[in-house]
A and B are shown apart, each in its own frame.
Chain A
Amino acid sequence: MNFDDTPQEAAFRETARKWVAANAPKEFEQELSKSSLGRIRLAKHDMVGVGKAWQKKKAEGGWACLHWPKEYGGRGATPIERVIWQQEEGVYGKLTQPFQIGEGMCGPTVMAWGSEDAKRRYLPKLASGEEIWCQLFSEPSAGSDVAGLCTRAEKKSDNWVVNGQKIWTSGAHYSDFGLLIARTDPNVPKHKGLTMFFLDMKSPGVEVRPIKQANGMQEFNEVYFTDVVIPDSQRLGAVGEGWSVSLTTLMNERMSIGSRLATGVPELFEFCSNLMLEDGLAIDDPAVRSKLASWAVKSSGLKYTSYRAISALSKGERPGPENSIGKLVSGMMLQDIATYAMDLQGAAGVLTGADEETVHGQFQQMLLSSPSMRIAGGTDEILRNIIAERVLGLPGDIRVDKDVPYNKIPTKGR
């Protein structure tokens, strides 16, 4: 057991480190290292613009989507080299947020299912950040049950005509392309009537509207489709095979979302180390210590679980199923930690402004944002089902709609 790089890994790390040192936009380093929770914002600059510049520089240096083949804009790097790169990219990795859906989900789907022409046309520009992609899967009445979606695509000669609505689309307002799953046959059971497409987000009939979220922010969108025309050449996989295609995307979603997880433990530790209660520092209070210790071991447990996965990659093996616990554990922790920190703040905990007692409202912000961590990318309940079924081998849920034609499934609000 050791934490050392192999000689090849050490050489790769050295190359990456030197390149980051020479090329990273250091003027943003401080600001980026401070923002550890939630979405990243830069005070005086447009996040997408700064991100695009960094991504372009990385692509020119051969550091964008580096696990992709060279001909598609990558570096042909191994999985462990990708991990090393992420470690060396450090805080600047936060600038890649606008590209993560593309790199983590849309790109791999195009790579697996697209034609050679499509791959050469779209992947290099996706990798270099020149074109941003978004993912159009969830619908108001199809969240966890995404195969129950009702956005319709109908064949008209060589084109498809799309009508319907998607929701929770990150970055739709600045995206150039979208990966879209739609229903092409409502007369067969729900999983069998779906087809995957990609489309130009500037196509006539596409309307993007921001969603005002429960935490008051606007980070996601609704996307409406009214007679939007998509050429058949932008279909991914066969007609009716959309569900299989989407599994490529979703599998990648759970892996990429799990890679950088905030738990709230460092923030809570610092807060408790400085907070004076009536009897002294919070961190000297036995009840506080007990809570803090329980969260600290969950946080370290997640860290070392990821180290086990990295070790598997380093040996050229597939990581085990243990990585599936990351989002489940960290999502709940953020919410619980926020609630607890505010409890310690007492009456002042209700304030959300730049008050000193509440450390500028960071836990209040965490509280209001944390519900989304337990929902996006698979709800806690879906993740527990996945662990129970795929890891422990328990039976799948009984699905009453499995063999029923889609248009005969009882609905409400469809």
Chain B
Amino acid sequence: MNFDFSDDQKQLRDQARKFLTEKCSPRAVRVVLDGKAPYDKELWKGLAEMGFLGVAIPEEFGGAGAGHLELCVIAEEMGRANAPVPFSSTVYLAAEALLIAGSDAQKKKWLPAIASGEAIGTLALFEGKGNPSPKNVKLTAANGVLNGVKKPVADGAIADFAVVAARTGSSGRDGDISLFLVDLRAGGVEVKSLTNLDPTRGQAEITFRDCKAEPLGAAGEGWSILSQVLDRAAVLCAFEQVGGSDRALEMGRDYALDRIAFGRQIGSFQAVKHMLADMYVSATLARSNSYYGAWALSTNAAELPEAAAAARISATQAFQHCAKNNIQVHGGMGFTWEFDCHMYYRRANAMALGLGSLSYWEDQLIDRMRKKNAA
């Protein structure tokens, strides 16, 4: 059994950590947090130069052609650094959708542009409240034009193109949904930035009015493609969440060693020690579940749907738990804008909703476990 990343993959992780420590300090994150830039353009350029944006994109489409295990280790570091760039929208959602369902021409057009950092992509799925479900897709597609409103769309205000879920039928089945590819710079769209929990990753409302769109994948296959994209993104996001959990735990641990109260390091009080030990437990469970997700993702295993849901739940819980208690360990200082704790708290809670909420994934996991038990 070799349930671990290879030495080369660990080296890549070290390389990514070094790069991000240099180029993505909390000070740099704060430029975006404070609204002075929509995202960190310099960092985005650097990520492209390092080959990180296209690490899982095949060489024939301008990527490094490495694989998804490599993407997982980079994702972990992106989460650790709280990177203020549209990485998850572009790489986990848009690029994965193209890889699964794109025509050769579509892949040739967009994938090299993603790998080089020239194009930012996103997935436009949600329409207000609710979780991923064909029922919740109201935006229509007819005769090659889209009409409707998507919100929230992650990184929608800075994206160059979007994969859009649209209704093409009314049978009440999954087959009513088809995917389309929209060049957001070409007209027919109106984009409005929305304020959100985590300003280091923007959210937008996009209105499509007779917007020209080309199909992505076969008509009526939209929901099946989306399910695969969401499962794959769930694993990759889980690695970001694991990275964020570890960082929040470290911040809490370091502060507990540094801060003196009642004449002792606060980390010598059991109430504080046990809180940190419990954070370590959640982070460890999340990491192990995510490793299993990484295995399933990288081998395209039949276990992927169940593994992805487990990784998603475990990592969401861990990041929320660690980010919350990191503030608690910091006490009053943790509730200041000046300390970085709230950046992880914001990111943890925003990520918990991004691909569908925790309860949605819990529901998915039970369905998938039952399917396996029945088989």
**A residues touching B (Cβ–Cβ < 8 Å)?**
1-5, 9, 269, 273, 283, 286, 289-290, 292-294, 296-298, 300-305, 307-308, 310-312, 314-315, 322, 325, 328-329, 381, 383-385, 387-389, 391-398
Contacts and interface: CB of A to CB of B under 8 A. Distances in A.
Interface stretch (B116-124, B207-215, B281-289): B281-289
Contacts of B253: 392-394
B362 A289 contact: yes
Contacts of B264: 395, 398
Interface in B332-375: 359, 361-363, 365-366, 369-370, 373
Nearest to A290: B362
Contacts of B299: 1
B286 to A, nearest CB: 7
A381 B275 CA distance: 11
Contacts of B361: 293
Nearest to A272: B366
Contact of A304 (B273, B278, B291, B309): B291
Interface stretch (B134-142, B172-180, B310-318): B310-318
Contacts of A314: 1-2
A286 B131 CA distance: 14
A330 to B, nearest CB: 11
A347 to B, nearest CB: 26
B257 to A, nearest CB: 7
A298 B213 CA distance: 43
B328 to A, nearest CB: 15
Contacts of A398: 264, 268
A307 B294 CA distance: 14
A308 B281 contact: no
Given A305-B285, A310-B3, A397-B268, A1 B291 contact: yes
B29 to A, nearest CB: 25
B132 interface: no
Contacts of B274: 381, 384-385, 388
B230 interface: no
B11 to A, nearest CB: 16
Given A1-B69, A1-B291, A322 B284 contact: yes
B174 to A, nearest CB: 20
Contacts, number: 163
A388 B299 CA distance: 36
Given A290-B362, A297-B310, A302 B285 contact: yes
Contacts of A393: 253, 257
A217 to B, nearest CB: 29
Contacts of B2: 1-2, 4, 311, 314-315
A5 B1 CA distance: 5
Interface in B10-47: none
Given A289-B366, A311-B3, A389-B273, A294 B284 contact: no
A326 to B, nearest CB: 10
Nearest to B252: A392
A183 to B, nearest CB: 27
Nearest to B273: A388
Nearest to B311: A297
B4 interface: yes
Given A297-B310, A387-B280, A289 B363 contact: yes
Contacts of B280: 325, 387, 391-392
22 contacts: A1-B2, A1-B3, A1-B295, A3-B1, A286-B359, A289-B362, A290-B359, A293-B362, A294-B313, A294-B317, A297-B310, A305-B284, A305-B288, A307-B288, A308-B4, A311-B1, A311-B4, A387-B281, A388-B274, A395-B268, A397-B270, A398-B268
Interface residues of B, number: 50
Contacts of B314: 297-298, 300-301
Given A296-B369, A305-B285, A315-B4, 10 more contacts: A1-B4, A1-B295, A269-B373, A289-B362, A296-B310, A297-B285, A310-B3, A384-B277, A392-B277, A394-B253
B267 A395 contact: yes
A300 B312 CA distance: 13
A3, A300, A311, A325: residue with the most chain B Cβ atoms closer than 10 Å: A300
B5 A394 contact: no
Contacts of B286: 301
Nearest to B374: A273
B19 to A, nearest CB: 24
Contacts of A289: 362-363, 366
A296 B365 contact: yes
A254 to B, nearest CB: 15
B48 interface: no
Contacts of B369: 269, 296
Contact of B288 (A308, A389, A392, A396): A308
B9 to A, nearest CB: 9
A390 B152 CA distance: 44
A307 B362 contact: no
A83 to B, nearest CB: 9
A317 to B, nearest CB: 9
B257 A300 contact: no
Contacts of A2: 1-3, 295
Contacts of A3: 1, 3, 295
Contact of B370 (A273, A298, A310): A273
Contacts of A290: 359, 362-363
B224 interface: no
A399 B260 CA distance: 18
A56 B66 CA distance: 52
Contacts of B126: none
B110 interface: no
A301 B284 contact: yes
A389 B284 CA distance: 16
B268 A292 contact: no
Contacts of B309: 293
